[in-house]
Structure 1
């Protein structure tokens, strides 16, 4: 069994001095209801080594202090897709390998997953992946220029199943309005979930939003596209009888997507 390191307990010095920060944005931005819970659980020695070695070159702490130049971040001017929540990164690495002409900015707060994805990227020679650590809302609002993204992927986000927690779900009208300002015309938004009530909410808010149009003929949910690999998490859900729904929406070319001060 691999040796592991517990990063859940506080320490006097950072476990990864050159790696992902525990709270990169700190208290610089307003308090709000978050759609995620930080998970800094046990990290294997291999994941820890990847974080120490690769984070300075391929990692990004989302601190909200600067607007990113994506061409500089990736070292090329290829289109960039933002993936919010990537788990252990297997699907992200597979998509990056299958489409080397597309950059993937993959954001999560799960330290073991960050280390695992860095390991996968190095092992497979994938130079089109960068790993973001922190709040994707701050990234979108403070650090990405308008029309800078070629796509958005949100696969199996936390469904927050209890009714009193529905306000924590990521896919809400306000989030879509913000995302629309950063997505270039024609950009593809791809969501997937195995929680059917959340899938219905996603479909409702995406359909109602003027900035997006359903790519699936006749509307409704789309079949899983070939470019989205089936993950272990998804397989476990299917074994339990869960129904997985994919949603494919296109950024409407001529919708109003002004970068207002309220959205900054």
Structure 2
């Protein structure tokens, strides 16, 4: 996906993100890291936020971005992060994750609380903290990386689907509330994405994590989602991508995945 480069007043070509500051949360790996890299290439001044500062700083140094510590589950951390920013034109709310695959009858309530805290409350904290700057920019974007799990439920996914359904509902309400403001509210909902950590964090072992993708020809990778994010953010500002669902071709629905035999 790509769009034509805008022209500056002098008539020379400019990158789409030139002069705009983009914040990416959960940027130390996976979709967040890929998005940060892509937005730098699009000309954005990118600020990375995550807890793992060693990894975050290494990425920031390699792509020409700025790294700041951010724990979305900690109100003081979010406040300190926001206080370091002079301006914000774009917020990519990417921090999130799944931490179990239990049935409801075997629910781990600590895992449920962690899932909701990271995916919903953490996102609300960051959005609330940066929303005044997004409005003040005159052409702000707040983009949420959600999931098809926020649209469809499935067995063994109760904690994650409940949290992502909550996030999806919050995004819809926010779009209604901001309709009179110069801020777009965008949601990108990926399906199966093969990243290094998502399934590992959820299932606890490399073997179980790899089994999720076994036999699936060309699952999405982080760069695919970053491409969708960059495309949505670089549309003319009157164009709002309310919701983009993106899956690999091998995944026709949440529960329908074609797997090739070895």
What is the TM-score of this pair, normalised by structure 1? 0.45
More strand by share: 1
Provide TM-score, normalisation by structure 2.
0.45
